[in-house]
Chain A
Amino acid sequence: MKQRARHITILQILLFTVLAVITLFPLYAIVLASLKPTTELFRFGLNVRWDLPRMSFDNYVYLFTGQEGYFRWFTNSLFITLIQTTLTLFVSCFVGYGFAMYNFKGKNLIFAGVLIVMMIPLEIILLPLFRLMLGIGLVDTYVGIILPFIAQALPIFFFRQYISGLPHDFLDAGRVDGCSEYGIFFRIMVPLTTPSFAAMGILVGMNSWNGFLWPLIVLRTQSKLTLPLGLASMLSPYGNNYAVLIAGSVFAIIPILTLFFIFQKYFIEGMTAGGVKG
């Protein structure tokens, strides 16, 4: 019986090793391609041949010296991600606290709104939302990208759950000590919820860093583009700029991958936040 269990374990490890190799293979292929002259791609297509004498970091050097403005897109994305994540976390925590700590008229109705937003694809309101942005002059601005999604449903839902699980006593304790309703939130609640900010921050931050469709619609000026938009603009009918596209893609994964290795636990918490006990 023991013997058999061991065989099965070995088979399992073998299976997962094969899957891990398959999973990493496309990344390996793109990293390898990023080190070769782009003419290789035009002649042979993406391949995994090693060709040491012709391999170099030239494409990466070109990323930051070329005319396409890669560095600009990178800093644009970084800026938007930081602002959007900070604001969304703060606003969602604020709203989640309201739902978790108070009973009030209309609470269920408002909360139904949160659930509806979670269930309806954003894609269907693209056109009217764009018209609205046009009407209030927010097209081609970062405010236009960030503002409509400042109070996101999933983080609100998450913070409501999280704060509901905390003891309610401090609310009364704070009132007795003369704290205002908002003082209680800022001085007592925010420090208590900080641990849960990490997981949500990663989820919101990743969506923001990788966001595509909405920025595609809002932004117009080439120098304002985010990293995913800039990269996608390298695919053009007049020939693709593979040096920027490939090296730029690899370079775009690096910040997220680095954060992932440092904060793995929070990534996994953040990703499964929606799935736990509906």
Chain B
Amino acid sequence: MNKMPFYKRFIYNQKLAPYVFTAPFVITFLVFFLYPVISSIIMTFQNILPGRVEFIGLENYRRLNDPIFFKALGLNLRYTLWTLAILIPVPMLLAVLLNNKHMRAKNFFRSTLFIPALTSVVVAGTIFRLMYGELPGALMNQIIGLVGLKPIKWLRLADYAMIPLLSLAVWRWTGVNILYFLAGLQNIPPEMYEAANIDGANPWQVFRHLILPMLKPTTIYVITISIYGGMAMFTESYMLWGGNRSPNNIGTTIVGYLYRKGFEENNMGYGNTIGVVLLLIVLVVNLLQLLANGFFRKEKDA
């Protein structure tokens, strides 16, 4: 064995091979993930000026008592709650209807509803920015005009800011979430529907006692990515308001504020503090959600 040239010993070494295979991940994880996360946390205790770094303890965390930060936090929280309230039940119901054996042209409808997901947020945001234009002739104002409402300055008033944001999210994500739920529905064996039929279950009972429990893993997954996506939402706002500024900060998001502090105002310490808070919120909310849904319990049973 030792007679072999070095490179041959290397490529035939079975003990070493798994470490070589996983090395690209380990290296990128350490350099481009772990190191940034740790330096991000360290920077939250610092005031970073060009050429000078000073330790300022918890000062950056005290600065979080900042009306614009709370406004941004509120926007992402409301956005997340609304997307959860709409983008879980509606796509689930549509997937159940689409999965019905009497339904026709399933693939056509599935594909059509999926098409918006192919557009980038930039393109979709451009379309919605124009649809929600403030001129009386702009599309949304024309539509509400049909039922006798006066034109609205959608992107200028805090009361209406959620509508363009949400409709954009619903437009882009309904089709994707339908796909997730359809995939989940394929895990229900047809015999179970037959058994439910023989037992005389009505459609609501079938939904409540068969479909809903069977869709639970999919639902947990969709909730998890929705919380993640909702709290980190940024590009949607950036496109709707044409940049990182919105009148009175009605469209400012947490990531947008982090971007503003860190890059535009060069305040790395405070910017990172916003990032760390975002991280904590996403982790805690998702952990609570997973606990409430019995995710960890189920893992143990299985």
Q: Give A residues with C-beta under 8 Å from B.
A: 5-6, 8-9, 12-13, 15-16, 19-20, 23-24, 26-27, 29-30, 33, 41, 43-48, 91, 94-95, 97-99, 101-104, 107, 110, 113-114, 117, 119-132, 147-151, 156, 175, 180-183, 185, 206, 209-210, 212-213, 217, 228, 231-232, 235-237, 240, 245-246, 249, 252-253, 256-257, 260, 264, 267-268, 271-272, 274-278
Pairwise interchain contact B130-A125, C-beta atoms closer than 8 A: no
B115 engages A24 (CB within 8 Å): yes
Bound Cα distance from A20 to B115, whole angstroms:
10
> With contacts A9-B103, A102-B17 known, is A125 near B25, CB below 8 A?
no
Q: Is the CB of B36 within 8 A of A228?
A: no
Total A-B Cβ pairs within 8 A:
288
Contact indicator B17/A253 (Cβ below 8 Å): no
CB distance from B173 to the nearest CB of A (A): 11
> With contacts A9-B103, A23-B116, A235-B239 known, is A29 near B123, CB below 8 A?
no
B207 contacts A by Cβ under 8 Å: no
A-B pairs with beta carbons under 8 Å apart, 26 shown:
A5-B102, A9-B102, A19-B109, A23-B116, A23-B171, A24-B112, A26-B131, A44-B137, A46-B139, A102-B18, A103-B18, A110-B25, A121-B231, A123-B232, A124-B258, A125-B37, A127-B268, A132-B31, A148-B28, A181-B14, A235-B129, A249-B126, A253-B118, A257-B118, A271-B114, A271-B176
Q: Decide yes or no whether B272 CB sits under 8 A from chain A.
A: yes
Collect the chain A residues with CB atoms within 8 Å of residue B175's CB: 23
- Which residues in B have their C-beta under 8 angstroms from that of A107? 18
Which of B11, B43, B119, B120 is most buried by chain A, counting CB atoms within 10 A of its CB?
B120
Query: Which interface residue of B119, B122, B138, B259 has the most chain A CB atoms within 10 A?
Result: B122
- A121-B8 Cα distance, complex, nearest whole Å: 42
Q: How far is the CA of A24 from the CA of B271 in the complex (A)?
A: 39
B79 located at the interface, meaning its Cβ lies under 8 Å from any Cβ of chain A in the complex: no
Decide yes or no: A126 and B179 within 8 Å by CB, A131-B39, A232-B238, A264-B111 being known contacts: no
Q: Are A128 and B113 in contact (CB under 8 A)?
A: no
Residues of chain A contacted by B39 (CB below 8 angstroms): 128, 131-132
Q: With A94-B21, A249-B123 as given contacts, are A16 and B275 in contact (CB-CB < 8 Å)?
A: no
- Determine how close the nearest CB of chain A comes to the CB of B31; give it in whole angstroms: 8
Question: Could you say which residues of chain B place their CB within 8 Å of the CB of A44?
Answer: 135, 137-138
Chain B 166-190, CB-CB to A under 8 Å as 1, else 0, gives: 0000010011100110011001000
Q: Is B32 an interface residue (CB 8 A)?
A: yes
CB distance from A271 to the nearest CB of B (A): 6
Q: Top 8 nearest A-B pairs by Cβ distance?
A: A98-B21, A45-B138, A210-B120, A102-B18, A45-B135, A44-B137, A128-B36, A180-B11
**With the chains together, A156 CA to B29 CA distance in Å?**
13
Main SS at interface, chain B: helix
Cβ of B29 and Cβ of A117 under 8 Å apart?
yes
Which chain B residue shows the least CB distance to A207? B120
Contact B127 A27 (CB under 8 A): yes
B126:A23 contact, CB within 8 angstroms: no
Could you tell me if A46 and B109 are in contact, using CB atoms closer than 8 angstroms?
no
Residue of A nearest to B11 (CB): A180
Choose the segment among B62-70, B155-163, B276-284 that binds chain A (4+ C-beta atoms closer than 8 Å).
B276-284
Residues on B with beta carbons closer than 8 Å to the beta carbon of A127? 40, 43, 258, 262-263, 268, 271-272, 275
**Pairwise interchain contact A117-B33, C-beta atoms closer than 8 A:** yes
Segment 3-34 of B: residues with Cβ below 8 Å from A: 8, 11-15, 17-22, 24-29, 31-33
Task: Say whether B289 faces chain A, with CB atoms less than 8 Å apart.
Answer: no
| CB closest residue in chain B, given A246 | B126
Q: Bound complex: CA of A13 vs CA of B129, how far in Å?
A: 31
A19-B113, A30-B127 as given contacts; A128 in contact with B272, CB under 8 Å: yes
- Given A33-B130, A104-B19, 9 more pairs with CB closer than 8 A: A30-B127, A121-B232, A121-B282, A124-B279, A181-B12, A213-B234, A232-B122, A235-B129, A253-B118
- Complex: chain B residue closest to A231, CB-CB: B122
* A256, B89: Cα distance in complex, Å: 28
Chain A's nearest CB lies how many Å from the CB of B193? 14
Among A114, A132, A210, point to the contact of B36 (Cβ < 8 A): A132
* A212 in complex: contacting residue of B115, B120, B262, CB < 8 Å: B120
Q: Is the CB of A20 within 8 A of B113?
A: yes
Q: Which of A9, A45, A246 contacts B104 (CB 8 A)?
A: A9
Q: B226: shortest Cβ distance to chain A, in Å? A: 12
Q: Which of B28, B112, B224, B228 contacts A23 (CB 8 A)?
A: B112
B209 nearest CB across to chain A (Å): 21
- B121 interfacial by beta-carbon distance below 8 Å: yes
B115 touches A27 (CB 8 A): yes
Residues of B within 8 A of A275 (CB): 180, 183-184, 218, 221-222
